[in-house]
Amino acid sequence: MKIKKNKREYYLYSMLLIVFFLLLGQMSFLVYSSRVSQGEDEQMHLIAQYYAQNIQENLISKIYTVDSLETLLDITMYDEKKFSDWAPSIYSNEKGIGSIQLAPNGIISYIYPLETNEKAIGHDLLKDRRRDDGAIETIASMDTKFIGPVTLIQNGRRAVISRKPIFRTVEENEEFWGFSIVVIYVDDIIPSKIDEENYKILILGDDPDAEKVPIVYKSDDDTTFSEINYPIYLPGAKWNISISSVKESDNLIIHIAIILISILFSLLFIFKNYKIYRQNQEILELNRTLNEISIRDYLTGLYNRRGIKQIVSQMPERFDKAFAVAMVDIDDFKDINDTYGHDVGDDTLKYFSNLALVNCDDNVLISRIGGDEFMFLFDEKSYKESLQTIRRIIKELNKENDFEININISCGIAYGSDISSFDKISIKADNALYEAKKSGKNKIVEA
């Protein structure tokens, strides 16, 4: 019903807009000239919005590529030398990419395709004054950041750089590993159809290392851009698009022609407006999907460390009175990988994850925080059953089943009463897990 109502309002708005322009064409020149300015602003706002969303969708789609680079690094235990094995597939799956790169410790060491990009090999992003501010800001944000446009040192072409800082957990600490990078040439970003007969466009980018705001695109004239401005929000950057109308003649005949053109444009933007609304919904859904991907473990579908922290920060009231943290580690998992191969190791992780989900109620949050280590977070409704829950999972593991490998787990459990102490309790649980492993494995130790 709401959709039908919106459509009726849309059709009514369309008819009123057409009638408005027809009546406007019959008014005197002075009345028309004062009114047309308002109508032109509305049209230019819609055009700017359309171009902005076109650019935003084009660039945001490249986030999947930098995420894929990070995921494959994680899968291969950060063996960047395997870059040449999976880079061609990633590169071919996304159109409009100039190259993909890996920069361990901020030094560009791997590029695909390498042809015409050889000069970039060995480039240290953290020491080059032309790049270091953007690189440092990207590390500090711990998230993907779009920078540019910049002129590439390897081939002189103008491009936008999408960098994602990669952090690796080493001895319970998140340490910077390097960047996954996607290079997008400016020519592949600009919308293919820009109406420069009636409007002049200026698109400004964002580069922390540039002395002036970099220009992504500008119409070839001396137009002063001061009429309509529209932001383009990208991860870690804010671009801006400005649009100005070409000055029309004071000749009455030209004004009459403009009235007719305005009617045609009104029809165009009526349909574009509806399409833009739909695109906005798709972008919102894409953002929700991207967020879900960022907080989930790619292999098991469980929350990752970031996902658990996000839930704790968003819903602290679930844990304010009491909570429990259980750190669980699959015993001798390395032997499983060494004996049966990594595919069986992955199947083991998925089997344990599914079994854990089946044996925990909805009040228990389960995450894979790295390798074969899992975290169980019990809220105030479930923390009293935390020990029994882990014992139940162990009991299920010891039953006969169709899985080809016997799995044992070690566990450390710690309890808290204030969610602000979450990190401290997690460390206690991790220490208890260490004691369980040290004292013979296949055990539960309470902190």
* Tens digits of residue pLDDT in 109-121: 999 998 888 888 9
Residue 289 has pLDDT above 70, yes or no: no
- 167-195: string of b/e by CB count within 10 Å (b at 16+)? eeeeeeeeeebbbbbbbbbbeebbeeebe
361-396 pLDDT per residue, tens = 988 999 999 899 999 999 988 889 999 999 999 999
Bridge-based pairing of strands 444-446 and 323-330 is unpaired
Most confident of 209-213, 348-352, 400-404: 348-352
pLDDT attached to residue 401:
72
pLDDT attached to residue 3:
46
Q: How many Å apart are CA 180 and CA 99, to the nearest integer?
A: 11
Residue 295 pLDDT grade (very low, low, confident, very high; cuts 50, 70, 90): confident
80 vs 77, 94, 100, 120, 162, CA distance in Å? 9, 21, 13, 17, 19
405-428 pLDDT per residue, tens = 888 999 999 999 888 889 999 999
Element housing 234 (H / E) = strand 228-234
pTM of structure: 0.47
The type of residue at 131 is: R
- Classify the phi-psi angles of 122: left when phi > 0, otherwise alpha if psi is within -120 to 50, otherwise beta: left
Asked if 262 and 21 touch (Cβ cutoff 8 Å), the reply is: yes
Q: How many Å apart are CA 176 and CA 90, to the nearest integer?
A: 23
122 vs 93, 233, 383, CA distance in Å? 26, 31, 51
Q: Token digits for 252?
A: 């009455």
pLDDT attached to residue 221:
62
The sign one gets for the Cα dihedral 287, 237, 50, 41 is positive
In sequence order, what are the beta bridge partners of 161? 147, 183
pLDDT (mean) for 277-296: 67
Residues 6+ apart with CB under 8 A from 430: 172, 327, 412
What backbone torsions phi and psi does residue 12 show, to the nearest 5 degrees? -60, -45
Closest CA to 319 of 387, 385, 380: 380
92 vs 37, 53, 135, CA distance in Å? 46, 24, 26
Question: What domains can you pick out in the chain, each with its CATH number?
Answer: 2-60+190-294 (no CATH), 63-188 (3.30.450.20), 305-446 (3.30.70.270)
Residue 280 has pLDDT above 70, yes or no: no
Q: Token digits for 12?
A: 């009514």
Residue 1 has pLDDT above 50, yes or no: no
240-265 pLDDT per residue, tens = 888 887 755 455 566 666 677 767 76
21-74 pLDDT per residue, tens = 566 655 545 555 666 566 677 777 888 888 888 888 888 877 788 888 888 888
Asked if 410 and 326 touch (Cβ cutoff 8 Å), the reply is: no
174-227 pLDDT per residue, tens = 889 899 889 988 888 887 666 667 778 888 888 888 888 888 888 876 655 557
Q: What is the DSSP string of 169-214?
A: EETTEEEEEEEEEEEEEGGGTS-S---TTTEEEEEE-B-TT-SSPP
